[in-house]
Amino acid sequence: MKDYDHFIIWLDYFNKNLSRRKGRRIPKEHAIFDPTISELLQAVSDCGLNITSGNSNDHARYPKRSFVRSGYVMIPKINKKKYEIMQMLTSKISSRRKMKKN
């Protein structure tokens, strides 16, 4: 049953290795190589979005690539569009990766 109170954010939305046709939604210059569910969960908490432990699944398969495990996070809807939330998350993930490198 469809849940209209949450956004579903799949890892494949951010994956730089994927084409738009295969599920990437972020522009390639802002996308990330092979994001992980832990990075996505950390970015969600950094953005101040509250999720419970049951609102993530790291064994789910994105429908366009059902042969590969991907994962997703369910975020409660706020006064922003889904794309704006994805942009916030990708900037948090990329800034965390830059901090890890240094």
81: domain CATH number is 3.30.56.30
Strand order in the sheet with 6-10: 6-10, 72-76, 56-57
Structure tokens at 99: 């901090």
Query: pLDDT digits over 25-41, tens only?
Result: 999 999 999 999 999 99
Q: Is 53 inside a domain boundary?
A: yes
Q: Is 1 inside a domain boundary?
A: no
Query: Which residue segment(s) compose the domain that 90 sits in?
Result: 6-101
Query: Is 90 exceeded by the pLDDT of residue 102?
Result: no
Query: pLDDT digits over 41-91, tens only?
Result: 999 999 888 887 788 888 889 888 888 888 999 998 889 999 999 999 999
Number of domains in the chain: 1
